[in-house]
Amino acid sequence: MAKESFNTYSYLLDRTNRRIKQFAQKRFKEESFDITVDQWLVLKSLNQENDQNQSELAEQIGKDNPTLTRIIDLLCKKELVERRQLPSDRRCFTLHLTDEGKQKMEEWAPKVAEIRMKAWENLTEKDYEDLKRILNTIYQSLEI
Amino acid sequence: MAKESFNTYSYLLDRTNRRIKQFAQKRFKEESFDITVDQWLVLKSLNQENDQNQSELAEQIGKDNPTLTRIIDLLCKKELVERRQLPSDRRCFTLHLTDEGKQKMEEWAPKVAEIRMKAWENLTEKDYEDLKRILNTIYQSLEI
DNA sequence: TAACAATAATTAGTACAACAAATATATGAG
DNA sequence: CTCATATATTTGTTGTACTAATTATTGTTA
């Protein structure tokens, strides 16, 4: 294949990724979910596993610490998440959904699952598997 | 498949996309290419086809106009690109590589092609085809 | 114990993404 | 011609990404 073509794949990937976010964000707005897609990712992770500190959570969702700090700041301001000082290591906070956060998660989760599913509706089971494998192969080829 | 899994695919796609950009950016820096990956995309398009106005170019590279305006601003500041007023329609600019821009393109293009290729080196021809098909299917499922 | 390295989180600075709204100009219908 | 509409671009705002620097704390070791 011509070298030039590889630019095209990067472009397709970028474009598709953007549209997935864009679509979800638009639907979030329509449903009056007052969060971004990335904020959703954080809430979802905290809902599955409380007591994570920021570094663990950052690793979990694949974002860096400064980015996560800001997402957490925003979620705290919305009173969906709270930081708790860890007495055993005063450098750390553990992160927790507030009661309101838990309630919103119950309310939002089924609808979000539906919205997120939309992207994949015209793919076969084999397509999912192939996509997963291909993306992971790329990811590992670029180990930093 | 459980609905919850679909979140995972979005996550994989986002993560891989980020790493592709991240990798290219890091290599750009090592090679002292003083541009971002998105700026590269613009230069590349202009190198192939001069005389585009901003709206055409935005469409071409799949970014919206405000985003492109700012990328062009930066490239103009670096004196790689210039805006030329179109006498026949004074709302438009056509965009052109400067001499320095053309020179840099010649210098950078082969190396950039190599860098971009790195992501795909462990995939087969069939993988490329599958990936392209799958990404386009997703893109079209989310027509906005 | 004092000095040094490592870690958790934050902050600052720059850039891009997405969206809405504003501005300037052009075009078409009447 | 004039008004409404459309088009090209810019501006403002919020959020995310990456780098580098900073603060506070903990761990290590001479």
Task: Give the residue whose CA sits closest to D9 at C1'.
Answer: B91
- For residue B90, the distance in angstroms to the closest alpha carbon of chain A comes to 31
**Pick from A12, A26, A134: CB nearest B130:** A134
3-state SS record for chain A: CCCHHHHHHHHHHHHHHHHHHHHHHHHHHHCCCCCCHHHHHHHHHHHHCCCCEHHHHHHHHCCCHHHHHHHHHHHHHCCCEEEEECCCCCCCEEEEECHHHHHHHHHHHHHHHHHHHHHHCCCCHHHHHHHHHHHHHHHHHCCC
A72 Cβ nearer than 7 Å to chain C strand: yes
d(CA A55, CA A16): 29
Q: How far is the CA of A42 from the C1' of D24 (A)?
A: 26
Q: How far is the CA of A115 from the C1' of D16 (A)?
A: 21
**Pick from B1, B123, B142: CB nearest A118:** B142
Q: Give phi and psi for A85, each to the nearest 5.
A: -60, 135
CATH number, domain A16-141: 1.10.10.10
Give the nearest chain A residue to B109 (CA atoms): A4
Identify the pLDDT of residue B5.
56
Identify the pLDDT of residue B84.
94
| Residue whose token pair is 């073509």 | A5
Classify residue B83 as left (phi > 0), alpha (psi -120 to 50) or beta.
beta
| Residue whose token pair is 């919205």 | A115
CB contact under 8 A, B135 and A62: no
Among A106-115, B7-16, B120-129, the range scoring the smallest mean pLDDT is B7-16
pLDDT surpassing 50 at residue B1: no
d(CA A48, CA B65): 39
CATH class of B15-141: mainly alpha
Q: Which residues of A touch B131 (CB under 8 A)?
A: 9, 12-13, 130-131, 134
B54 Cβ nearer than 7 Å to chain C strand: no
Window A:86-105, CB contacts with B under 8 Å: none
Nucleotide with the nearest C1' to A86 CA: C8
d(CA A52, CA A21): 25
Buried b (16+ CB within 10 A) or exposed e, A45-63: bbeeeeebbbeebbebbbb
Give the mean model confidence (pLDDT) for residues A44-50.
Answer: 91
Of the candidates A42, A99, A92, A91, the one whose C-alpha atom is nearest the C-alpha of residue A67 is A42
Q: How confident is the model at residue A5 (pLDDT cuts 50, 70, 90)?
A: low
Average pLDDT, chain A: 92
Q: Residues B138, B142, B144, CA angle at the centre, nearest 5°?
A: 150
d(CA A17, CA A9): 12
d(CA A8, CA B1): 31
Q: How confident is the model at residue A1 (pLDDT cuts 50, 70, 90)?
A: very low
Give the mean model confidence (pLDDT) for residues B95-99.
Answer: 96
Q: Give phi and psi for A39, each to the nearest 5.
A: -65, -35
Under DSSP, is residue B49 helix (H, G, I), strand (E, B) or coil? Answer: coil
- A84 strand-pairing partners: A94
Identify the pLDDT of residue B51.
86
Interval B112-136: pLDDT, tens: 999 999 999 999 999 999 999 999 9
Residues 116-135 of B with CB under 7 A from strand C: none
B65 Cβ nearer than 7 Å to chain D strand: yes
CB contact under 8 A, A6 and B113: yes
* A111 touching B (Cβ < 8 Å): no
Q: Give phi and psi for B30, each to the nearest 5.
A: -60, -35
Q: At what angle do helices B5-30 and B99-117 cross, to 10 degrees?
A: 130
Identify the pLDDT of residue A27.
95
Q: How far is the CA of B66 from the C1' of C18 (A)?
A: 9
**Pick from B118, B123, B137: CB nearest A142:** B118
Domain locations in chain B as residue ranges: 15-141
- The tokens describing A54, both together, are 């920021």
